[in-house]
């Protein structure tokens, strides 16, 4: 961009100064391409947009897959819940045999190690 600076020392306060300014472009190619093309015949913006959309779709599919693939906790049936309550098992509390001290699994009435009644 060129600019010029002029001074008019003999110009009076009430005198009018008029300028005619014009712009001439030497390059016949448009600086802004038509829709879908870059400047000066460069690469099109379509592939960039397509890649961005493709990555967004791939990320969304990955998120959906990850949410569906995560392990789900198994719901305890009413029968299992009643049996545990009847055996005196509270959630998260392990049971032990009062006779031999072995850890008891499930709502059984007898110790699988020593056979003592619970």
Residue 110: what pLDDT?
Answer: 83
Tokens 């791939």, residue located: 58
Query: Can you tell me the distance from the alpha carbon of 85 to that of 63, in angstroms, rounded to the nearest whole number?
Result: 40
- In the predicted model, residues of the chain with pLDDT beneath 50 are 35-42
Residue 59: what pLDDT?
Answer: 95
pLDDT digits (tens, 9 = 90+) for 9-27: 888 888 888 888 887 878 8
Which H or E run includes 67?
Answer: helix 46-69
Residue 71: what pLDDT?
Answer: 76
Residue 118: what pLDDT?
Answer: 74
CA angle in degrees (0–180, nearest 5) for 83-88-92:
95
Query: Can you tell me the distance from the alpha carbon of 105 to that of 112, in angstroms, rounded to the nearest whole number?
Result: 9
């Amino acid at each position: 961009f060129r600019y010029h600076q002029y001074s008019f020392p003999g110009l009076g306060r009430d005198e009018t100064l008029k300028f005619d300014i014009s712009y001439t472009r030497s390059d016949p190619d448009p600086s802004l391409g038509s829709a879908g093309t870059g400047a000066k015949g460069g690469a099109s913006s379509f592939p960039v947009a397509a890649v961005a959309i493709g990555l967004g779709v791939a990320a969304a599919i990955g998120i959906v897959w990850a949410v569906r693939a995560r392990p789900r906790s198994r719901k305890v049936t009413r029968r299992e819940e009643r049996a545990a309550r009847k055996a005196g098992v509270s959630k998260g509390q392990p049971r032990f045999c009062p006779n031999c001290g072995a850890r008891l699994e499930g709502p059984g009435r007898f110790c699988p190690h020593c056979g003592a009644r619970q």
